[in-house]
Amino acid sequence: MEPGIEDEKLKEALDLLEEIERVDEKKGYDRLVKPLRQKERRLLAWRRVVLSSAAVILPLLVAGIWWSVREKAEVPPLARVDAIVPGVNTARLILADRKEILLDTMSARNLTLVSGETVRKEGTGVVYENGQKTSETVVYNELVVPKGGEYDIVLGDGTRVWLNADSKLKFPVSFTGKERRVYLEGEGYIDVARDTARPFIVETREQSIRVLGTAFNVYAHEGERMTYTTLARGSVQVKDKKTGKSVALHPGEQLCLDVADRGMVVREVDVRKECAWKDGMFVFNGQTLEQIMLKLSRWYNVTVFYQNEEAKKIVFKGNLPRYSDFQTMLSILEKSSEVKFSEKNRVITVSI
């Protein structure tokens, strides 16, 4: 994704957030300030009639009215969260010899691997460039994005992968043989370079996804009951590793796999919303609070605890910038429901 396009998407999200805030400010004015202004005008009229006595009475009267209205209209403060910031561009690269490189702090722009390939830092990620191959042996590297991070990579064949927070991609530094195979854990958006002679295969814990040239999103976090494969363009064949069942997807379709009972459901979705995370947006389209907090916990690197199981089932809709501070996120969720949040040592307690 070019920086200009990402900035444009983020600006749209910020404009939406400002609109929400303006609405909230107007509601606050109508509820608190406007009644005070009306009372003040009545007091000024009375002052003209009883000017002499108003010099003593008016200050006390105004103070009494102010505190009376304030006491009735005051809204409990929202959750207070200390310095929990959104995710940043960060990742570590694990080489074939298990040496680790922190990419966001790597000073050199280029890194030459033992196998001959060059890794170049560019924009928000790294680019692999094939060197002179002297062996057909497949050498793997691994890109690891922690909680509170995101990163993208261009593989040796030109395929580009955006990795979301708490995700991993294991890949050959150079593709050899009759296929291109990578291993994904977590969430990634993959724009595959077309090569009709060598299919591109994405292996997750539960599925094998086979394509030629296409763009799709894979959500496959270990420990979660559901995995999702969403097709943006082209076509993919998704195979359940345990049952052997295969499903073909067309653009605009999403395959939902229930890891517990192996149920597979194909549904039509808005791909732009499903993949909005890579363009700097959170899109909560009828998702439960539990689903939302899972995403936020990875992005902001926090732990979530529920005092009430019922809170997990509350459903929300809306679009928000991924780069908003955490306080803003929680405030908006609180204003649109009965849910309440408190924070201590990066542990978020949820109650209703």
Let me know if residue 55 belongs to a domain.
yes
Let me know if residue 140 belongs to a domain.
no
Q: What is the pLDDT of residues 285-304, one digit of tens each?
A: 888 999 999 999 999 999 99
- In the predicted model, what is the mean pLDDT of the chain? 80
Let me know if residue 186 belongs to a domain.
no
Let me know if residue 236 belongs to a domain.
no
**What is the per-residue pLDDT for 33?**
39
* Helix, strand, coil percentages for the chain (3-state, nearest 5): 30, 35, 35
Domain limits at 302? 280-351
What is the share, in percent, of the chain residues with pLDDT greater than 70?
Answer: 75
What's the pTM value of the predicted model, to 2 decimals? 0.75
Domain end among 43, 73, 103: 73
Whether 14 shows a pLDDT value over 50: the answer reads yes
Domain end among 46, 73, 100: 73
What Cα–Cα distance (Å) separates residue 331 from each residue in 24, 25, 33, 183, 336?
Answer: 11, 13, 21, 38, 9
Q: What is the pLDDT of residues 216-240, one digit of tens each?
A: 999 999 989 999 999 999 999 999 9
Let me know if residue 287 belongs to a domain.
yes
Domain end among 73, 92, 127: 73
Separation between Cα atoms, residue 130 and residue 156, nearest integer Å: 6
Tell me how many domains the chain contains: 2
Q: What is the pLDDT of residues 301-334, one digit of tens each?
A: 999 999 989 999 999 888 888 998 898 889 988 9
Let me know if residue 83 belongs to a domain.
no
String of DSSP letters for 98-116:
S-EEEGGG---SEEE-TTS
Let me know if residue 224 belongs to a domain.
no
Let me know if residue 155 belongs to a domain.
no
Q: What is the CATH number of the domain that holds 294?
A: 3.55.50.30
Separation between Cα atoms, residue 187 and residue 168, nearest integer Å: 8
**What is the per-residue pLDDT for 61?**
35
String of DSSP letters for 20-39:
HHHHHHHHHIIIIIHHHHHH
Q: What is the pLDDT of residues 141-168, one digit of tens each?
A: 999 999 999 999 999 999 999 999 999 9
